[in-house]
Each structure stands twice: as structure tokens, then as C-alpha cells.
Amino acid sequence: MKIQSIRGMNDLLPEQSATWQYLERAVADVLGRYSYREIRFPILEQTELFKRAVGEVTDIVEKEMYSFEDRNGDSLSLRPEGTAGCVRACTQNGLLHNQTQRLWYTGPMFRHERPQKGRLRQFHQIGVEAFGLTGPDIDAELLLITARLWKTLKIDHAVTLQINSLGTSADRAKYREALVEFLTARHEQLDEDSQRRLTSNPMRILDSKNPDVQALLNDAPSLKDFIDEESRTHFEQLCAVLDAANIPYEINPRLVRGLDYYSKTVFEWVTTHLGAQGTVCAGGRYDGLVEQLGGKPCPGVGFAMGIERLVLLLDELAVVPDSVGQTVDVYLVAVGDVEQQALVLAEKLRSDCPSIRLECHCGGGSFKSQIKKADKSGAAIALILAEDEAKAGTVGVKYLRKDTSQETIAQTDVTELLKHHF
């Protein structure tokens, strides 16, 4: 039997990788324009890091982590998200001491969830984190970045922004009490999942996908009545920037997010085009996290976007330019005993015209079969080198996307021709 990949861990085939690169380059470019710098940290960390950062009673830590004992008996986990590792790396390397940092990272994350469209066990995120800044201005900047990115990718019409404020952890403790009191009185109306959460993580009930539970919540106490003056002002100022920058948003008082570490601002960009997995980007402020992980107190705010979901959306909306899948400009056909000359000519052309993507045919074969390959490659021009041309120092030029007849030119003139054409 052939060995298969692990369920929910997909291969990324060359056909799809062009779109991924297109997306990743667009993000890196936008982030660069806001002076964010890339940070890289390991995929494996101590399990304890995620327990402390994400929270013991979250879905991630309770049932989704890939944890194992390594050969020394240490409990390690594949990262289920990036913020914990990013904070650990920054603290350990002294990046947060009296400084601000604007950072981003990308890579695989691992969660043992039920695989479905837009939900995988190995998935990929691009994460952005800003440290050392307390005000709503930096929260707003992160949202401006995402809004610009959606515009760049031409998906801005398909995503909407939802925001909320979670207040401080003291505010949430008071609210949690009120919510638990309200829901305990209606215990038998809750589904099993929500009943379980009532004792472990009651705020997550607000997140429930069950319409009956959502209906019940209509009369529940609202978090916004519990948040303190400072959080309220912070939130109002954030909204004011969004208004001034013409970024539409919806205040969703039930947006609580699945991780424990958030405070004040939380947000999600959602789309209706991907079915149940509609959140393409999510984040918020986490002022207590650095201290919780043993660092000196340092405010932070960030978000992560799911690459698979964004790629699905790009495909769904057909907004990726055709040129993105196009990888060959010129195809050099080499017929007969001319391999050496062909490779040398190809090298010269690559040196002369660095922006041109040139595929040199290898492996021989008839003229007909090679021209077929040239055509299939998507190249605009086939250069033809057979034994006659090789002897004469010439090359045939065939325009594959134009109805003109083949011509023969000196090899020394090819550079000029390519520079002119591309």
C-alpha cells in the first residue's frame, strides 16, 4: 500500500503555488509599506507556552493541539497559532524592552480539527503583531493595513469588518458572572456544548453557532454595559479613525474570539462567500499576554489571516490576474545534437535579459513534440535551434500567440529582439 498524507494536511501543488506566492507577495509588499519587519520563530515550542498563552480551557488547548513527548521526555507542541511563539521570541531576545516593534510572520499552524473546506489540520497564517503601543491609533493602523490589502487583492467588496471591545479582564470577570447567572437560570435551554462551556468558558457561548442559543442570548446581559471608561474611550477613538478613513465596520457585541488573551479591541474580517468558514482574518489587543508569559508588561495588538481561506476567496472571485499562473516567457526548442549550444545560448540570454523567464528544452525529441511543449508552457516566443541553425549561428523565432510566420535571425541578435518584445 502507498503511504498517504495525513488527513487535513494538504500538498500545495505547483498549479496552486502561484496564487499563494501572489498573495504572500502582496501581503509582504503592503506590510513593508507600513514598515513592518519579518520575524521567524520555531514551529515547535514547549506545550506550556501555548497552555499559558492561549488558555487551558480553550478548544485549542483542550482538544486541538498536536502535543507529544520528545526523546528527552519534554512535552512539545506544534504551534496552533503564532502570537504565543512571537511573544516568546521577542521577550527572550529583548525586543520588547523600552521599544516598539511592528512585526509579521508567516508559516504553518497545526490544529486537530475536523477537516472541511477552509478548515485544515495544517493550515497557514500570515500574522502581524505590534508591541509597545497602548493607544487606539495602532489598533486602527492594523485595520488600515488589512483594508488596503483587500483593496490591493480586489476582494474588498467581499469582506466586512466586525469589531467589538472586550474591556479589561476585570470587566470580563464581572460580565462573566452576570452572564453565568443569566444562563444558569436557563440551563435546560442550552445545548450540550454550551452547558459544558457554562462552567469552563462561558464567554464562548456568545460564539455559539446554534440559532436557539443565539436567540436565547438576545435577552442576555451585554458586555458593552460592563466595560470600563478607558476601554470605552479607546473603542470610540478606534471607531472614529475608521469613520474618518471611510472604512465600513459593524459593531458585533457578541464577538469574543476563541483565545483567552484578548482585551479591549477584537475584530474579524468575514466573508459570505466561503460557507461556514467565513472568517479570513481575525485579531485584537492582548495587553496582558507578555506579562502572562513571564516578560515585563508590554502592550500588544495583532491579527492573523488564514492563507487557505484567502486563496479560496481569490479563486472564488476570480480576481487573480492571468499573468500569475504564467511562468514561461520564452521556450528554447533544441532539436538534434545541439544540447550544449542550446544551454549556452539560454545562459547568455538569461544574463542579457534578467527579467525574462526562459525554459530550455532538455531531453531531446522531435521538433513537433517540442513545439507542442513550448505552446503548452504558455510562452509567447519559441526560439528554435536545430542542427542547421547551430551550424549557421542563427536561431528560428516563432511567435506562439501571434499569426506571423517563423523567421530566422542571427544568435547575436536574439537579445535585442527579446528586449524589444518584453
Q: Which one, 317 or 417, has the nearer CB to ligand ATP?
A: 317
Our CB check for ligand ATP shows the closer of 103 and 358 to be 103
For ligand ATP, the binding residue among 264, 309, 361, 398 (CB under 6 A) is 309
- Closest C-alpha among 364, 365, 333 to residue 346: 333
Figure out which of the listed residues 252, 277, 292, 326 binds ligand ATP, where binding follows CB under 6 A: 277
Q: How far is the CB of 243 from ligand ATP (least distance, A)?
A: 25
Q: Binding to ligand ATP (CB under 6 A): which residues in 201-260?
A: 258
Residue closer to ligand ATP (CB basis): 118 or 167: 118
Select from 304, 345, 374, 397 the one that contacts ligand ATP (CB under 6 A).
304
The order of strands in the sheet holding 381-385 is 358-360, 330-334, 381-385, 394-399, 407-410
Site string for ligand ATP, 47-86 (x = CB under 6 A): ----------------------------------x-----
Give the shortest CB-219-to-ligand ATP separation in angstroms: 25
Closest separation in Å from C-beta 305 to ligand ATP: 6
Report in angstroms the alpha-carbon separations of 5 from 2, 8, 9, 59, 64. 10, 9, 7, 25, 19
Rule CB under 6 A: say whether 125 interacts with ligand ATP: yes
Interacting residues with ligand ATP between 85 and 114 (CB under 6 A): 111, 113
Q: How far is the CB of 397 from ligand ATP (least distance, A)?
A: 47
226 alpha carbon, distance to own chain's centre: 34
Residue with cell 521556450: 331
Contact between 131 and ligand ATP per CB under 6 A: no
In the complex with ligand ATP, which residue's Cβ is closer, 136 or 306?
Answer: 306
Sole window of 20-28, 272-280, 294-302, 408-416 interacting with ligand ATP (rule: CB under 6 A): 272-280
Closest to ligand ATP by CB, 118 vs 299, is 118
* Beta strands 160-165; 250-251: pairing state: parallel
Rounded distance, CA 183 to CA 187, Å? 6
Q: Does 119 bind ligand ATP (CB under 6 A)?
A: yes
Q: List residues binding ligand ATP (CB under 6 A).
A: 81, 111, 113, 118-120, 123, 125, 258, 277, 279-282, 304-306, 308-309
